């Protein structure tokens, strides 16, 4: 990634990937600072009384690479990832990109000024992509045809990553011959 005249220029090989890593306890202030260093600031912690969610937006050639590198960065900070989750919330611009329509077209559909009405509810400018996708499946199935496939791949990869991370935690990184099952 390079900065040119104040604009972010992304490597064409790199895409942004959204996902959440789960730590099964609240992390400390020192750990938070170490995490900022090891992840270059692209993990934002959300702490509850029982756990910490690390919200990632990471540039990488694939989701798998993004998640794997994030898990290792988290370990560099002395933390163990307990699970992986997805980020489902999208804004109108993101919806427009995913369904291949203009921002204005999607805005009118969402406002009920065009289309069949009943568009999923918005809160603070954000929609649930799962609900929006289901709505488009009834209104304009082709619009969510290929993005849906991408989304299904994304959903499957998130679940697979969750299992792999749990296996890593169970075996303390010593999966031995089991690791071969993932690429055989």
Partner 1 sequence: MISRGRHQKAEIAKALKAVTQRDGLEVEEIHRGHRWGVLRCLACRAELDIYSTPPKPEVSAKLIRKFDLNH
List interacting residues with partner 1 (CB under 8 A). Answer: 29-30, 32-33, 36, 40-42, 44-49, 55, 57, 87, 89, 91, 123-126
DSSP codes joined into one string, 1-37: -EEETTEEE--TT-EEEEEEEEESSPPPHHHHHHHHH
Shortest CB 49 distance to partner 1, Å: 6
Which residue number, 4 or 49, has a Cβ lying nearer to partner 1? 49
Shortest CB 105 distance to partner 1, Å: 22
Give me 162's structure tokens.
């969750």
43: nearest Cα among 51, 35, 52: 35
Which residue number, 132 or 143, has a Cβ lying nearer to partner 1? 132
Which residue number, 4 or 123, has a Cβ lying nearer to partner 1? 123
Shortest CB 38 distance to partner 1, Å: 12
Shortest CB 54 distance to partner 1, Å: 10
- Helices 63-76 and 145-171: crossing angle in degrees, nearest 10, is 30
Give me 121's structure tokens.
């509810």
**Phi and psi torsions of 43, nearest 5°:** -115, 125
Which residue number, 46 or 104, has a Cβ lying nearer to partner 1? 46
């Amino acid at each position: 990634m390079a900065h040119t005249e104040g604009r972010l220029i992304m490597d064409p090989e790199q895409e942004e990937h959204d996902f959440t890593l789960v730590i099964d306890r609240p992390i400390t202030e020192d750990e938070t600072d170490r995490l900022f260093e090891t992840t270059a600031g692209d993990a934002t912690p959300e702490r509850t009384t029982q756990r910490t969610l690390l919200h990632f937006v990471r540039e990488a050639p694939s989701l798998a690479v993004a998640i794997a590198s994030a898990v290792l960065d988290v370990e560099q900070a002395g933390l163990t990832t307990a699970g992986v989750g997805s980020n489902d919330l999208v804004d109108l611009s993101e919806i427009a990109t995913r369904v291949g329509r203009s921002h204005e077209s999607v805005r009118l559909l969402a406002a009920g000024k065009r289309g069949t009405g009943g568009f999923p509810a918005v809160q603070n400018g954000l929609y649930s992509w799962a609900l929006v996708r289901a709505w488009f499946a009834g209104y304009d199935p082709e619009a969510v045809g290929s993005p849906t496939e991408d989304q299904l791949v994304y959903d499957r990869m998130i679940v697979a990553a969750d299992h792999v991370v749990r296996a890593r935690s169970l075996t303390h990184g010593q999966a031995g011959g089991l690791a071969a099952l993932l690429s055989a």
